[in-house]
Amino acid sequence: MCLTVGSDNFTSSRALDELIRSDNAVRHGKPPPRRNDLADIRQSRPLRVHFRPGRTRCGRSHDRLPHAATAATAGTATQPAFPADPTAYVDTSIGNNGSGTTFPGAARPFGMVQNSPDTRVNSYASYDYADTKILGFTQTHLSGVGCQTNGNIRLMPVPGAFPGTQPAAQAAGFSHADERREPGDYMVGLATGVTAELTATERTGWHRYSYPAGAALRTIVVNVGSSNGYTYDGQVDVVGDRTVEGWITGGNFCWETGKERYKVYFSATFDQPFAAFGTWSDRAPLVPGRRHADITGSASNGSRSDGGAMVSFPGTGRVTAQVGLSYTSVTGARLNRETESDGQTFDTVRATRQCCSTSIRCGSAVRTGRGPGSATATCSGPGRSTSR
């Protein structure tokens, strides 16, 4: 016997058990039980069977519906509603320690960009809750992989003149009390007085930096060479007066073969023209006014050398940047950025970050009324799994 569900035929749990026992008995050469005839079954209290439409369930003993289901009968029980926004129960700070290896930043479900802060390099997901300084905000991260990887294309806002080329010279202190962590949205107040806000579309990281009133210049470091994993080679170019583009080759994940490589391309544009710019590579000093730099590394095991560009803007206020990514070409990264930013602003992108919240299947924890703690634990897992 097979039960076709998703139709208009309903029966009680008791009657369903009778049907299953009868079918099992016949298939094993025994006479079926006679305690209930078909009329009894039809007169049983109705109970809707909830499975996906069109599915069938064959009559094995472990296929029976739970007896607890009889507590809710059609038309008599009121179930709590599923949450309209499951992302409200997602806590992106869960697992943000060295062993959990997760990141707290902004990502769309199944997106290619994971726009998130880094507190360290060469370490798992490059963020540890115990750290007190942020090195910058990179576009790619992986959660829970157990090895250092990604952390590519790091932006860091700095009030004032160009800083040193090493990440430690660009870092800023922060407190978790000044963080806001939500799916698709991250904000932190830095000790330098800069407020950094992050959001994302599928292939573009969006950054908005608000500088303190006393800053003479608003500088942004675009660190291409210093990834969370190995760097084999790369390139950076300042294009015109609003754009920085380039690529980086990484790989050697978990040191398993030492041979696998990936190349990620980027195109970053800013909402206002540069007042000054420069590039650097391979631990050499920044060269003001230079538009191009090649980043080299060891062909065998990579390097940790820094390389990238720095750009600055006069006055105070906000600077917004869009960083498109591609794994095929700079042209592809530019096209992704232009397509996903067409007619959009930082605020409109952040406002629509929940457009895909139905990808987070965690409504049962809220619907069964087990409390907000259970809902957070249940929703945060699926939320994390769609953002890595």
Asked if 317 and 168 sit in the same domain, the reply is yes
| The pLDDT value given to residue 198 | 95
| The pLDDT value given to residue 43 | 47
Q: Is residue 342 assigned to a domain?
A: yes
How many Cα atoms are found within 13 Å in the side-chain-facing hemisphere of 18? 16
Asked if 265 and 348 sit in the same domain, the reply is yes
Asked if 227 and 336 sit in the same domain, the reply is yes
Last residue of a domain, one of 16, 43, 71: 71
| The pLDDT value given to residue 257 | 67
The number of domains in the chain is 2
| The pLDDT value given to residue 3 | 40
Asked if 161 and 136 sit in the same domain, the reply is yes
Asked if 32 and 122 sit in the same domain, the reply is no
CB-CB contact of 365 with 374 (8 Å): yes
| The pLDDT value given to residue 149 | 66
Asked if 162 and 124 sit in the same domain, the reply is yes
Q: Is residue 206 assigned to a domain?
A: yes
pLDDT along the chain (388 residues), means of 10: 39 49 56 48 43 40 42 52 62 59 76 86 74 91 69 91 91 94 90 96 96 93 82 92 94 71 94 97 93 79 73 94 97 97 92 59 46 48 48
Reported as a single tens digit per residue, the pLDDT across 268-318 is 999 999 999 999 998 899 999 999 999 886 555 555 567 999 999 998 899
| The pLDDT value given to residue 146 | 67
**What residues make up the domain containing 44?**
2-71
| The pLDDT value given to residue 127 | 75
Q: Is residue 386 assigned to a domain?
A: no
CB-CB contact of 166 with 160 (8 Å): no
Last residue of a domain, one of 45, 71, 97: 71
Asked if 320 and 295 sit in the same domain, the reply is yes
Reduced to 3 states, what is the DSSP secondary structure of residue 63?
helix
Q: Is residue 79 assigned to a domain?
A: no
Asked if 18 and 126 sit in the same domain, the reply is no
Asked if 289 and 341 sit in the same domain, the reply is yes
Reported as a single tens digit per residue, the pLDDT across 9-26 is 444 445 545 555 555 555
Asked if 140 and 167 sit in the same domain, the reply is yes
CATH no. for residue 257? 2.70.98.10
Asked if 333 and 220 sit in the same domain, the reply is yes
Q: Is residue 34 assigned to a domain?
A: yes
Reduced to 3 states, what is the DSSP secondary structure of residue 381?
helix
| The pLDDT value given to residue 4 | 37
User: Using CA atoms, how far apart are residues 148 and 144, in angstroms rounded to an integer?
Assistant: 10
Asked if 197 and 331 sit in the same domain, the reply is yes
Strands annotated E in 5-92: 56-58
Q: Which residues of 222-238 are buried (b: 16+ CB within 10 A; e: fewer)?
A: bbbbbbbbbbbbbbbbb
Dihedral class, residue 265 (left if φ above 0, else alpha if ψ from -120 to 50, else beta):
beta
